[in-house]
Every structure is written in structure tokens, then in C-alpha cells.
């Protein structure tokens, strides 16, 4: 019989799990402490639970963290982990930066959204990750205990798997969980409108929107999502929320030579985001096979940034990390090495 995974359960669910194993209800709270705060994965080490209780738990459940099947280290210290999830494998990346250690986490195996410039999108969709699969990435990297931040920017569209992602955020930010501030978490989306509204209402985490082109028709040629949920509607929704305080919104803009790097694009971007408290992150594109556009040289990126700045936007060129191990934005493909 497959044992159920406890990772990702709330205290209420852990209480039910404890009762089902014949333990008193308060053992649910003990389990939450052992799993989330002490990061213990072996029931036999949970010493404030009776020996027979621990045995009963072990016969029905497992904590359910997954061990990576491969780890690659980049010259800049970025580490890319490959985790097995059923038939598939997903990637997580740890990016060290001065006093920060950021985990870039995957929320799906592959992705349905099919953005043309994205290696994950090209791989197709192989399933949603469960909260346990996602949390496993937090618990099983070498630097697990010293992670300071997390970005939902790995494989998959997190708002296409919102219920599980929301549970992960609950575990990360609850006092009974990891106790993180929501300010340490950023969710990146291409703009799945109905779920974006839920994310904005149901969490206090930062938001990053993959924008890439201010013109609907041009954006649609690379990002099918534009048809169902046009960017202008996404921006209109975002304008209804307050980003002048602790919560931040940023727009990701990957520059492709000859597609979205002209002054016309910069000016349209300024018009689109005018008056919104936000930041634009300009991202260098990494050439991928069978794709018509290349990357924009440094001077072109700087000229684009300066035009945005002159228009009143806060814009920065984002440093690309882990390029040599294919851990940079849009490069996660997550296949088993043997494939």
C-alpha cells in the first residue's frame, strides 16, 4: 500500500492523520513541529511521540520529501537540482547572492502555456505538482535551512496550479510552518487572469508578470495566453491593488533582437504602465534551438532601459545567473538525464 505524504498538510490535516493512526489529536501539532520546524523526516526520531505511535504513523504515512537525482553547480555558485516526480523530473535552482539565497521553484512538470521562447513550454505538459512535490524542493536542497527567498519562476505556470501553490505559501508563511514573511516570496505568472485575482486576494506575496511585448497581437504570436487573457486586462486588474507599500509588482521583459526591442516598444510600455508603482526587469535572452530571434547586445539593452527611465518607469537589467548550467530564465527543461 502506498503511504500518504504528510508534507504539505496543515495542522488540521495532520491532526486527522494522527487520529487515523490512533494517536491523540495534539500529535498533529507535534508532527507539524517535527516536519516543518525541525525538518525531521524519520518518524523514529520524533521522540515526544510514543514508540507505538511512531510505528503506527510509519505504517500509514511518510513525510514525503524527495531526494534530488542530479545536482549541477555553476561557476557563479548557482546550483541546479533535478527532482523525480512520478515519471517526470523537475528542476529547482538555488541562487546565492551576497546575504541572500533564493530558491527558484517549479510548480508543474512541463507547462500547458506553450510560450514559444521557453524550453519548458516546448516540452509540453506532464502534470501538476502537489504541495508535497513543491515543498520537497524547499526541504531537499543542500542550503535548505539557509534559504532566504523563493521565486515561483521555475517550470510551469504557478497560477495554473493555484490550489497546491497556495498551500505551499500557507506552509511557508504560517507560524506553525516555516514562519516566512510573504515579502520573501515572489510568484511569477504570464497572467492567468481569474487565478491572478485569487492570488492577489488570497496572498500578500510579491507579483512578477511576464510581459515581453506591450502590443497584443505581437505578444500573441509568442504567448498564446494573450488570446484568453489580454495583457491590458491583466494590467487593469493589477491597478486595482495597492503596490505602494510592502507588496511589490514587477514586469519581466525579455529582449529579443528585432521583435520587441524598438523605441516604439519602449514607448508603448511606458504608456501601458504609466502611474503604476512597479519595476520593469529587462532580461537577456539566451538563444535556444529553432528560434528565429537572438539576444540584444548590451548597448541595445541599455538604450531600451534608458528610454523606459526617461519615460518615468523604474527599469533594471537583470543579471543572469547559472547560464552555464542552463538554469537561467526560460531554460529549465527538466528531463531525466537518461532521456
Annotate each residue in 62-101 with x if it binds ligand SF4 (CB under 6 A) or - if it does not, as one string: ----------------------------------------
* Smallest separation (angstroms) from ligand SF4 to the CB of 118: 3
- When the beta carbons of 32 and 222 are compared against ligand SF4, the nearer one is 222
Catalytic site residues?
A: 91, 329
List the beta bridge partners of residue 314.
279
Kind plus residue range of the DSSP H or E element containing 28? helix 27-32
- When the beta carbons of 32 and 187 are compared against ligand SF4, the nearer one is 187
* Smallest separation (angstroms) from ligand SF4 to the CB of 328: 13
Our measurement of the distance from residue 240's CA atom to the centroid of its chain's CA atoms, rounded to an integer in Å, reads 24
Q: Which three cell numbers stand for residue 229?
A: 487573457
- When the beta carbons of 64 and 330 are compared against ligand SF4, the nearer one is 330
Our measurement of the distance from residue 47's CA atom to the centroid of its chain's CA atoms, rounded to an integer in Å, reads 34
Q: Where in 205-264 is the site for ligand SF4 (CB under 6 A)? A: 210
With contacts defined by CB under 6 A, name the span among 6-14, 90-98, 149-157, 264-272 that binds ligand SF4.
149-157
- When the beta carbons of 64 and 110 are compared against ligand SF4, the nearer one is 110
List the beta bridge partners of residue 99.
none
Our measurement of the distance from residue 128's CA atom to the centroid of its chain's CA atoms, rounded to an integer in Å, reads 13
Torsion region of 151: left, alpha or beta (phi above 0 gives left; psi -120 to 50 gives alpha): beta
d(CA 185, CA 158): 13
Number of residues binding to ligand SF4, judged by CB under 6 A: 12
- When the beta carbons of 65 and 123 are compared against ligand SF4, the nearer one is 123
Q: Is 296 in the site for ligand SF4 (CB under 6 A)?
A: no
Torsion of CA 255, 258, 261, 263, to 10 degrees: 180
Of 6, 7, 66, 113, the residue at the interface with ligand SF4 (CB under 6 A) is 113
Q: Which three cell numbers stand for residue 212?
A: 515581453
CA distances from 302 to 238, 265, 306, 311 (A): 27, 14, 6, 14
- When the beta carbons of 103 and 190 are compared against ligand SF4, the nearer one is 190
With contacts defined by CB under 6 A, name the span among 56-64, 113-121, 130-138, 238-246 that binds ligand SF4.
113-121
Our measurement of the distance from residue 212's CA atom to the centroid of its chain's CA atoms, rounded to an integer in Å, reads 18
* Smallest separation (angstroms) from ligand SF4 to the CB of 286: 13
Kind plus residue range of the DSSP H or E element containing 266? helix 263-273
Of 93, 115, 200, 234, the residue at the interface with ligand SF4 (CB under 6 A) is 115
CB-closest chain residue to ligand SF4: 121
d(CA 122, CA 93): 20
With contacts defined by CB under 6 A, name the span among 13-21, 22-30, 107-115, 165-173 that binds ligand SF4.
107-115
CA angle 237, 269, 312 (to 5 degrees): 100
In the DSSP assignment, the letter for residue 3 is: P
Q: Where in 154-193 is the site for ligand SF4 (CB under 6 A)? A: 155-157, 190
Greatest Cα pair distance in the chain: 70
With contacts defined by CB under 6 A, name the span among 106-114, 179-187, 226-234, 255-263 that binds ligand SF4.
106-114
Q: Provide the binding-site residues for ligand SF4, judged by CB under 6 A.
A: 111, 113-115, 118, 120-121, 155-157, 190, 210
Amino acid at each position: 500500500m502506498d503511504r500518504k505524504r504528510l508534507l504539505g498538510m496543515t495542522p488540521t490535516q495532520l491532526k486527522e492523520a494522527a487520529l487515523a493512526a490512533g494517536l491523540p489529536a495534539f500529535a498533529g501539532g507535534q508532527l507539524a513541529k517535527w516536519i516543518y520546524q525541525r525538518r525531521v523526516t524519520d518518524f523514529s526520531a520524533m521522540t515526544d511521540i510514543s514508540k507505538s505511535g511512531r510505528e503506527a504513523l510509519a505504517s500509514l504515512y511518510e513525510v514525503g520529501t524527495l531526494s534530488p537525482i542530479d545536482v549541477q553547480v555553476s561557476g557563479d555558485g548557482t546550483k541546479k537540482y533535478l527532482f523525480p516526480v512520478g515519471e517526470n523530473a523537475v528542476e529547482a535552482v538555488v541562487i546565492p547572492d551576497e546575504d541572500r539565497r533564493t530558491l527558484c521553484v517549479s510548480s508543474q512538470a512541463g507547462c500547458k502555456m506553450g510560450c514559444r521562447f521557453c524550453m519548458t513550454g516546448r516540452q509540453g505538459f506532464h502534470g501538476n505538482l502537489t504541495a508535497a512535490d513543491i515543498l520537497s524542493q524547499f526541504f531537499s536542497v543542500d542550503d535548505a535551512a539557509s534559504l532566504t527567498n523563493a521565486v515561483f519562476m521555475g517550470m510551469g505556470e504557478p497560477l495554473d496550479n493555484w490550489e497546491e501553490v497556495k498551500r505551499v505559501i500557507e506552509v511557508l508563511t504560517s507560524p506553525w510552518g516555516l514562519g516566512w514573511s510573504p515579502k520573501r516570496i515572489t510568484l511569477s505568472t504570464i497572467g492567468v487572469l481569474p487565478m491572478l485575482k485569487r492570488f492577489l486576494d488570497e496572498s500578500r506575496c510579491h507579483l512578477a508578470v511576464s510581459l515581453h511585448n506591450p502590443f497584443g497581437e505581437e505578444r500573441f504570436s509568442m504567448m498564446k495566453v494573450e488570446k484568453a487573457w489580454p495583457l491590458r486586462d491583466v494590467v487593469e486588474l493589477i491597478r486595482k491593488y495597492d503596490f505602494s507599500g510592502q507588496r511589490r509588482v514587477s514586469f519581466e521583459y525579455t529582449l529579443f533582437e528585432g521583435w520587441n526591442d524598438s523605441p516604439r516598444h519602449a514607448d508603448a510600455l511606458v504608456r501601458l504602465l504609466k502611474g503604476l508603482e512597479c519595476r520593469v526587469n529587462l532580461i537577456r535572452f539566451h538563444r535556444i534551438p529553432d528560434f528565429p530571434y537572438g539576444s540584444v547586445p548590451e548597448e541595445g539593452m541599455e538604450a531600451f532601459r534608458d528610454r523606459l527611465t526617461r519615460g518615468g518607469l523604474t527599469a533594471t537589467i537583470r543579471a543572469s545567473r547559472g547560464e552555464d548550467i542552463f538554469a537561467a530564465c526560460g531554460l529549465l527543461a527538466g528531463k531525466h538525464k537518461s532521456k
